[in-house]
């Protein structure tokens, strides 16, 4: 039996939604969104083919709450014509609030999982979610796909000489190891600490052998860029050659992109989970493969 798909692209992920629809040879339905001066959103969209598996594509990057509410609204409306809705949330906001770190903190990810399910999603697909624990809050089928192979392909084409992959912290070691393996180069992970109350980042590594090497700093999310900036400054002091940055989700808030470049980074490459001028890597392929 031939599976019929339809794709509804939210305001935050129009281009990515269209790319997924093209790969699936599925109709694309645009969710036309108007945001009023007071911040309220009004969403209208046209005909959604009946008896289709409908993919609702909407990242929840800043403004996070607005994009999240739009995603919930679209899923809820689609539910009127389809009982099979896949929520494709390439960048899942609030994934870092997946457990209680300090007393009294709300585990927001748990609430979001309940809302997405209640709206009508029967499956959720995300890309390089910050924490696998975040997905455990969902009681529906879930899939976390990786953009690392696509990012590695991009850097392979650059043909860097004497390259080394660097994780800005020990938590990203496995990611850096995978990235380095795809490029057939070595990797290291820096030791860092972050103050849970102030967010201040410190690099605890004292010395690393990176002299004359081209370095690729690999991370999943870059928000304010604090960790990447500290790492780049530290590596530059160790007399490395060039520093490149690769990440799945480029949030770049508070002028992060400019600050990262100022820290000595030659180029920043991110994916189109969040549309930016750095979004050189397309994840529509890995998302489509996970759905097929």
Distance (Å, whole) CA 117 – CA 289:
23
pTM: 0.92
Q: Which residues contact 265 (CB under 8 A, 6 or more apart)?
A: 217, 228, 232, 243, 244, 245
For residues 190-200, average pLDDT? 68
Residue 182, SS3 per DSSP? helix
Tens of pLDDT along 36-89? 999 899 999 888 888 899 999 999 999 999 999 999 999 999 999 999 999 999
Residue 150's region, left for phi above 0, alpha for psi from -120 to 50, else beta, is alpha
Domains and CATH numbers, the chain: 5-145+283-291 (3.40.50.2020), 148-272 (3.40.50.2020)
* Assigned token pair, 76: 């809820």
Tens of pLDDT along 100-137? 888 899 999 999 999 999 999 999 999 999 988 999 99
Residues recognised as catalytic: 192
* Assigned token pair, 106: 């709300």
């Amino acid at each position: 039996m031939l599976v019929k798909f339809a794709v509804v692209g939210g305001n935050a992920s129009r281009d990515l939604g269209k790319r997924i629809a093209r790969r699936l040879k599925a109709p694309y339905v645009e969710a036309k969104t108007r945001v009023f001066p007071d911040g309220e959103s009004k969403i209208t969209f046209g005909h959604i083919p009946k008896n289709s598996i409908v993919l609702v594509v909407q990242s929840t990057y800043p403004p996070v709450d607005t994009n999240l509410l739009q995603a919930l609204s679209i899923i809820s409306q689609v539910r009127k014509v389809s009982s099979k809705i896949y929520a494709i949330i390439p960048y899942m906001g609030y994934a870092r609030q997946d457990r209680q770190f300090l007393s009294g903190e709300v585990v927001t990810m748990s609430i979001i999982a309940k809302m997405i399910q209640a709206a009508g999603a029967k499956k959720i697909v995300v890309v390089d979610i910050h924490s696998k624990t975040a997905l455990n809050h969902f009681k529906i089928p879930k899939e976390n796909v990786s953009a690392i192979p696509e990012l590695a392909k991009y850097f392979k084409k650059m043909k860097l000489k004497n390259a080394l992959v660097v994780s800005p912290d020990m938590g990203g070691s496995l990611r850096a190891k995978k990235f380095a393996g795809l490029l057939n180069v070595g990797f290291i992970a820096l030791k860092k600490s972050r103050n849970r109350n102030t967010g201040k980042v410190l690099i605890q590594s004292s010395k690393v052998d990176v002299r004359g090497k081209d370095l690729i700093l690999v991370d999943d999310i870059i928000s304010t860029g604090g960790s990447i900036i500290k790492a780049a400054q530290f590596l530059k002091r160790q007399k490395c050659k060039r520093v490149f940055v690769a990440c799945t989700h480029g949030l770049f808030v508070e002028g992060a992109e400019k600050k990262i470049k100022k820290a000595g980074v030659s180029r920043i490459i991110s994916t189109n989970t969040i549309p930016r001028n750095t979004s050189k890597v397309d994840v529509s392929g890995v998302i489509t493969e996970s759905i097929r």
